[in-house]
Amino acid sequence: MYAIVSTGGKQYRVAQGDTLRVEKIDAAVGDTVVLGQVHMVAKEDGVVVAPEALSAAKVTAEVTGHGRRKKIRVFKYKRRKNYRRTQGHRQDYTEIRIREIEA
């Protein structure tokens, strides 16, 4: 059984027991979060995509940690204009473990 959920503007395919890194969620380590925006649930007996059936579906996850991703370089350059700008960026993330899928 797996589900397609949205969080942080991205969609993820999750199954029970999976660990994944999503955009930062304001929750402490050890807290339980509910990912309520479920787009699809695949069960043993078929796939559920009906909006009225998915309105009651939810995915429960546990926050296992927070961190920051690897630094990326943002470099702007215009030739022959003596214009160069370098900037770095590190994106925050939350690591979660999927506990249960209810559909």
Domain that holds residue 78: 2-102
The residue ranking higher by pLDDT, 84 or 48, is 84
Give pLDDT, residue 77.
98
Considering the chain, what is the average pLDDT of its residues?
95
User: Cα-flanking dihedrals φ and ψ of residue 100, to 5°?
Assistant: -155, 145
Find residue 47's DSSP bridge partners: 42
| Residues in the chain, overall count | 103
Domain count, the chain: 1
Render pLDDT for 36-83 as a digit per residue (tens, 0 to 9): 799 999 999 999 999 998 999 999 999 999 999 999 999 999 999 999
Q: Is the dihedral of CA 94, 2, 32, 58 positive or negative?
A: positive
Query: Would you state the structure tokens that stand for residue 59, as one six-digit string?
Result: 């995915």
Say which residue the tokens 């304001």 belong to: 26
Query: Would you state the structure tokens that stand for residue 75, as one six-digit string?
Result: 């470099």
DSSP class of residue 53 equals H
Band of the pLDDT at 88, cuts 50, 70, 90?
Answer: very high
